[in-house]
Amino acid sequence: MQAAESPRSRSPSDNAKRHDEGRCSECTLLSRKLRLCITCAVKAGVLKHNDDKKDFVLNVENNDIEVAFQRAKKNAICRDCALDGVQHEGHKTMQLKRLEMLNNAF
């Protein structure tokens, strides 16, 4: 029988996986690759366009990138809701993992 793994013994890549996984904010199913609807996230103030990076990045306030990322994760959706959700028809999405890399968050 293996001993339980402590959070400190996880590698940085394991922590990245945890940020990319979670419950869809719409259907509440678990997803391994959560996405963010760019259109809806900009309207909600979660994302903003960065002209230097020529892409969308987290809207970070008070230099607290963790809080900004958690706000994004609360709005994240699964693949099915992104593709089949009527409210996201014609909207662009991005994986949380990509957002994480763009912000050099973790």
Domain boundaries along the sequence of the chain? 23-102
Helix (H, G, I), strand (E, B) or coil at 97: helix
pLDDT over 70 (residue 29) = yes
Residue 1 has what pLDDT?
46
Mean pLDDT value across residues 24-36: 94
> Chain-wide mean pLDDT for the chain?
81
pLDDT (tens digit per residue) in 75-90: 999 999 998 888 888 8
- What is the CA angle 9-11-16, rounded to 5? 125
Residue 102 has what pLDDT?
73
Contact 55, 103 (CB under 8 A): no
Q: How far apart are CA 65 and CA 71, in angstroms?
A: 10
Tokens representing 55 are 């892409």
Mean pLDDT value across residues 60-71: 90
Side-chain half-sphere CA neighbours of 24 within 13 A: 18
Residue 13 has what pLDDT?
43
Contact 48, 38 (CB under 8 A): no
Model confidence at 18, pLDDT cuts 50, 70, 90, reads low
Pick from 46, 93, 49, 38: which is nearest to 65 by CA?
A: 46
Q: How far apart are CA 51 and CA 49, in angstroms?
A: 6
